[in-house]
Amino acid sequence: MKYIIGAYTTAPSLAANDKLIEYEFYENLIESIPNIRGLEIPFWGNEIHQFGSDYLLNIIDPDWENVISCIPGTMLNLAKNPKFGLASDDENGRIEAIAMHKRANLVLHKMNKYYGKKAVIAVQVATAPSSPVEGVHSSVDSLLMSMQEILSWDWQGAKIVIEHCDSAVGCTKFEKGFLTIEDEIKTLIKLNGIYDVGITINWARSAIEGRSVETPIEHIQLALDNNILSGIMFSGVSDNDNQYGSWKDMHMPFSQYQDMRYCEPKSLLSYENISNCISLVNPEIVDYLGIKILSMPIGNCSIDRRVGVNRDAITILNSILDKLHVS
């Protein structure tokens, strides 16, 4: 089995402006994990890397099948304009979001031209804005209009996938506060069959929403029931940790398993909880499985640890899939 790796969350460039160290990280990552299918590539609003898109294009294996995530760019824009988003009822905020995704489309074209092949299998989008914020409103109608426009563009075979982020539940403090998974699926059902669309479940983001390890299972099952599941990305979360916080969207490493060196004992992303999710699906039928891990402290981690949290996570996934007899 090969996996999508959200390597940018462990990359030194999150905190350091050093191209040589960044290159060393990716070189070691590629050597340490032979079963990389591709990267989850962050689209920051204009580029796919802090050092410019060309820098990352020169690192990526030409044979990889990658996923572009528009969530980093979405979050940066939300910090400047809380009404920014594909689901925004504020027309200016919605138009700004569409324009950002058009720039992502151009980057995808650039990648495919650079490698002379289809280098991107999916593009992940989010249903911003954070509707619980005062004066901010979102809706299925606004999301549907935005998705219809985005899907009218040429994505050169890449699937447009909503990555579900936590929605606000009652008085519980939210991390993203985007649309509910029910509203996202309702929108996708209207588009499915006409366009190539789906939904991706990020384990931590679903767990954060429900404050429970059962919520990712519920979300995966709901997506399966509606024939709309595209991918599962495994990030961890804790209900109480000094570094990663309590129910924070911080891409915590996996929980301790056997003699794995780079795990976090307070992570809720355990072998059992991962197995309970993967056992629901046929991993060879979903579009992709992957991981996205953050190594703390962000600015003070060795290359060994940055690579190790990814390697150990993949080792755990391999163990689970071997047990489930998936090749």
CATH number of the domain that residue 172 is part of:
3.20.20.150
What's the pLDDT score for residue 132?
Answer: 86
Distance from C-alpha of 233 to C-alpha of 135, rounded to nearest angstrom: 32
Burial 284-306 (b: 16+ CB within 10 A, else e): eebbbbbbbbbbbeeeebeeebb
SS3 238: coil
Q: Taking the alpha carbons of 110, 111, 112, 113 in that order, is the dihedral positive or negative?
A: positive
Contacts of 225 (CB under 8 A, 6+ apart): none
What's the pLDDT score for residue 326?
Answer: 60
| 144's tokens | 């549907």
Alpha helices (H) in the chain, listed in sequence order: 19-32, 53-57, 71-80, 91-115, 140-151, 181-191, 203-210, 215-225, 271-278, 303-323
**Residues 298, 15 contacting (CB under 8 angstroms):** yes
Mean pLDDT, residues 279-298 taken together: 94
Q: Domain range holding 131?
A: 3-323
- Give per-residue pLDDT as tens, 25-62: 999 999 999 999 999 999 999 999 999 999 999 999 99
Mean pLDDT, residues 236-262 taken together: 95
**Residues 5, 31 contacting (CB under 8 angstroms):** no
Q: Is pLDDT above 60 for 327?
A: no
Alpha helices (H) in 33-155, listed in sequence order: 53-57, 71-80, 91-115, 140-151
| 165's tokens | 């982020």
Q: Is pLDDT above 70 for 84?
A: yes
Q: Is pLDDT above 90 for 325?
A: no
Structurally, the chain folds into a number of domains equal to 1
What number of other Cβ atoms are within 10 A of residue 193's Cβ?
8
Mean pLDDT, residues 209-227 taken together: 98
The amino acid sitting at 205 is R
Contacts of 43 (CB under 8 A, 6+ apart): 68, 69, 70, 72, 73, 103, 104, 107
Q: Cα–Cα distances in Å, from 214 out to 49, 198, 199, 269?
A: 34, 21, 18, 11
